[in-house]
Structure 1
Amino acid sequence: MKRLFILMAFLAFFVGVKAQDEGPQLEYVVELKVKCEGAYQVGQTSHGNRFVIPIVGGTFEGPKMKGTIIPGGADYQLQDNEHGRTEVEAIYSIKTDDGVNIHVRNKGLICTAKDENGNPQFYFRTAPQFEAPQDSKYGWLNNAIFVCQPSFGGNDGTINLKIWKVK
């Protein structure tokens, strides 16, 4: 019995390793166009210099989902100007065109510090997490890791968020 268990564990390990040798792949999911208002400063807190950017609406569209961004969320930023980095955490909700509400928590990093070769850089990436009703057609959002490439949409306070599922 013990030998059978060891053999099964050995096989499971190598089958699992083989499956992971390929590395992750990305599947495009959605683009959000988030409308924001001007930031306000909380000030220097025990965690750093805190800013809040209110989220006032927007839209989203992708192959499997489409809808609007519900006003009332915000992007909570913690700035460390000395080291050229800002931690971001946007918390808001979206509503699909078929009436399903989904909660979003999108954490990430903006970095303007120099790279490992001493060259200036601009790095801005996030990793959104979704909370959808498990019994809805969007329940799959609860069970995956996502990555996001944000970009600024212009002078109107819009930020564009392109999101991929890690496969």
Structure 2
Amino acid sequence: MGRSIDQDVHAAFVEFRAKEDDKCLSVQCIYCQQIRAKNTSRQKQHLLECPGLQNQPNARPQSNDGGMPGSSSGYGPAQGLAGPNGMANGMSTPQGTPAGVSMPNRPSLPPGTSFSQGPMGAGPPNMTPMQQRPTPKPKPTPKSASGGGNIPAPPLDDVHAAFVEFRAKEEDKCLSVQCIYCNQIRAKNTSRQRQHLLECATYQNVMKESIPANNLLHRFEENDVARSLSIPTPTLELDFRMSVKLNPKISVGPTMFGQRNWISFIGGQWAGRWGKGVVIPGGQDNQLVLKDLATRVEASYLLQTQDEPPAYITVKSIGWRTGPKDVLERLQDNQTADTTPPTQYKFRINLELETGDERYAFLNTCMWVGSGCRRGAEVIYDAYRVG
């Protein structure tokens, strides 16, 4: 007895589910690798238009009524077809990106990944029907392969960026998605896509390598939770500039730590994003100069805003002025200090501000780093707020 039309249609497709709990079956054409929802009528129509089938010389319809000897459906066996539900090795799969899918700002693909598609639609990568396995299922990624799943759940934007959406046919109502890290195909479902990423070994490894601390010369052990934590990187934003006039330094003399100098402030001015004002006279810098002339600065002074009534803000700064010894020698002289470019030495400080005025209470919990220069009897520096 000859085979029925439905039998030959089913023989041309492999059924599969992306997940065992998915209710809808998908099918893949063994001739062109196209993926579509399981629907016998549409599968028949696809075979009438399938370019992959047309390219098989032994599988083309041989008669006016679409039939050929030995086949009641009009489709002969494809080259390499091993049986009703399988295909022998040797059929090539075209390479590319799922049809109609644009991927702006997508993360870079891990090495060795690729997408496959047929001429009429999108297909999953490396998913060749296997002999005598009518419903192949992708193997779930073991949780242990991702280092214990320590990477936190990805945000929604990252979930969308990690999958490519596609339809086998424009008229299909259900979207499928493909993971760009391991190429697994599944039905579109944001919650399950996020869960998939938590179990995807390739995604986990890519995320770990993107953590800056894991690219240092030395790193934590593989299973240490500190290796899987992604911590925000601080930012710097220019917040204000300050100019301070100095009195002549007073030498306290050499101590057990180095040469100690005492410098008081005449006054100065400041201006920035959140206000401007003056530096009140009376601040001081307690300097420590080492043998190589590297200088530790430890200063405290008082700012006054131009508000009415004014606010008062205390400033504490600690830092170092370092560089080549001949350059630091020139900074000791007020005349040569004016002609010494600040790019020839490094003057860096940490700053803390404190006030009891409610208008500027936000300053109490901020941090700043400063970059300064010495100009004779004046010090000028920019303060960058750490974000």
Residue from 103, 107, 115 that aligns with 2:314: 103
User: What is the CA-CA distance between 1:60 and the residue it aligns to?
Assistant: 0.5
1:151 counterpart residue number:
373
Structure 1 residue identity aligned to 2:245 = K
Aligned residues: 146
| Partner in structure 2 of residue 4 of structure 1 | none
Flag structure 1 segments of 5+ consecutive residues without an equivalent: 1-8, 115-120
Q: Where does residue 37 of structure 1 map in the other structure?
A: 247
Q: Matches of 1:17 and 1:165 in 2, distance apart? A: 25
For the aligned residue pairs, the C-alpha RMSD in angstroms reads: 2.4
Larger strand percent: 1
Shift of 1:97: 0.9
- The unaligned stretches of length 5 or more in structure 2 are 1-149, 154-224, 326-343
TM-score (ref. length: structure 2): 0.35
SS at match of 1:106: strand
Q: Per the alignment, in what secondary structure is the counterpart of residue 18 of structure 1?
A: coil
* Aligned-partner Cα distance in 1 for 2:386–2:229: 18
- Distance in 1 between residues matched to 2:229 and 2:361, nearest whole Å: 28
2:382 corresponds to which residue?
162
Q: Which runs of 4+ in 1 moved over 4 A?
A: 9-14
1:88 corresponds in structure 2 to: 297
Relative to its length, the structure with more helix (as a share) is 2
Residues 1-167 of structure 1: pairs in structure 2 closer than 5 A: 17-20=229-232, 23-81=233-291, 83-98=292-307, 99-113=310-324, 122-133=345-356, 136-152=358-374, 154-155=375-376, 157-167=377-387
Measure, in 1, the Cα distance between the counterparts of 2:274 and 2:369. Answer: 17
**Secondary structure of the corresponding residue to residue 24 of structure 1:** coil
Relative contact order (C-alpha < 8 Å, sep 6+): which is higher? 1
Decide whether the 8 Å contact of 2:151 with 2:229 is kept in 1: no
1:113 deviation in Å? 4.8
Larger radius of gyration: 2
Q: Secondary structure of the equivalent of 2:359?
A: coil
User: Structure 2 CA distance, aligned partners of 1:64 and 1:165?
Assistant: 12
Contact 2:313 2:355 in 1 (8 A): yes
1:41 CA drift (Å) = 0.2
